Amino acid sequence: MSEKQTEEQLELDLELVDRVEANVVYEEDEPVLYEVVNHVAWVTLNRPQLHNAQNSQMLYALDDAFQAAVNDDAVKVVVLRSNGKHFSQGHDIGTPGRDFELPMERRLMWYDHTNKPGAEKAFAREQEVYLGFCKRWRLMPKPTIAQVHKGCIAGGLMLAWICDLIVASDDAFFQDPVLTMGFPGVEYFAHAHEMNVRRAKEFLFLGERMTAQRAYEVGMINRVVPREGLEAEVRAMAEKIAKQPRLGLALTKQACNHIEDLQGKTTGVDAVFGYHHFAHAQNSLVKGDYIAGHDLASMARENKKKES
């Protein structure tokens, strides 16, 4: 057997495939900004030209920022906000900076996805950057506040939902339109805990925008404030919380999260992640693409149809 045949046989035995060459162009050197003021860490999503579409570059930078806040004893509260028109349009499925094919230095106990075949590729990646990161960030011992303006769409919901409090501007809206792609909601399926189950079904079946006021009424968010007063409101809340004792805050957060988990939140999220990836596999088999041939532009068109 030749050396080439030996290598090919080894790859077959290890169930590996060649990595896909990708020409990735990052438009921002710093996709997440970080500063600390008055014991509050301000973590800012910073892909404004692309409405804060979440690529791996951004999500790993976000993990770095959250870790920095946890490590810093001077930080008592963490605020997640964004630059640009929208809080986040969701996961990056079509910009020049889409880095799905690039290997990353992993943070959790999952192997590299880029040389894995079939459905395993997306499953391994999303176990880390979507499901794993969200579960990890939810467990930060310090209180977190999501400061949401304009669109909080699909993967944007995941970032807001892992925060302890959500304060939205009166022009904000929330939407999970991914049923259009064949998915039962985004990878971190907290829908039925963020609102009543029937409201969650309506939210998903129709895929329509939910206004900030409606989100407040169904219990998804804490406050709705005028856009011009959003940052001031969040700052006041964060600085007031920061005056509370650190351990007391951590224990209170842990207690509330524990009750949610007794109600089945984490086990439910884990189960639906499997359904999500069954849909990925179905799309690949039936439509030849794991996201059913959609990209940011096609999803934007579909979303406009829902609002017409």
Q: Is residue 7 part of a domain?
A: no
HSE-CB at 181 with a 13 A cutoff on CA atoms is 31
Q: Is residue 224 part of a domain?
A: yes
Domain count, the chain: 1
Q: Residue 217 belongs to what H/E stretch?
A: helix 212-217
Does residue 219 surpass a pLDDT of 90?
yes
pLDDT in the model for residue 307: 75
Q: Is residue 143 part of a domain?
A: yes
Does residue 297 surpass a pLDDT of 60?
yes
Q: Is residue 79 part of a domain?
A: yes
CATH of the domain at 191: 3.90.226.10
Q: Quick check: 47 and 58 in contact, CB under 8 A?
A: yes
Q: Quick check: 49 and 84 in contact, CB under 8 A?
A: yes
Name the more confident of 14 and 159: 159
Q: Is residue 237 part of a domain?
A: yes
pLDDT in the model for residue 308: 66
pLDDT in the model for residue 306: 74
User: How confident is the model over 108-150, as pLDDT tens digits?
Assistant: 999 999 999 999 999 999 999 999 999 999 999 999 999 999 9
Q: Is residue 6 part of a domain?
A: no
Average pLDDT over residues 67-85: 98
Above pLDDT 70, what percent of the chain? Answer: 95
pLDDT in the model for residue 8: 65
Q: Is residue 197 part of a domain?
A: yes
Q: Is residue 10 part of a domain?
A: no
Residue 163 lies in domain: 15-307
Question: Position 160: which residue type?
Answer: A
Does residue 1 surpass a pLDDT of 70?
no
Average pLDDT over residues 249-254: 98
User: How confident is the model over 149-168, as pLDDT tens digits?
Assistant: 999 999 999 999 999 999 99
Decide: helix, strand or coil at residue 216: helix
pLDDT in the model for residue 105: 95
Rounded to two decimals, the pTM is 0.95
Q: Kindly list the distances between the CA atom of residue 91 and the CA atoms of 88, 180, 229, 295, in Å, as whole numbers in the listed order.
A: 8, 15, 28, 10
Decide: helix, strand or coil at residue 35: strand
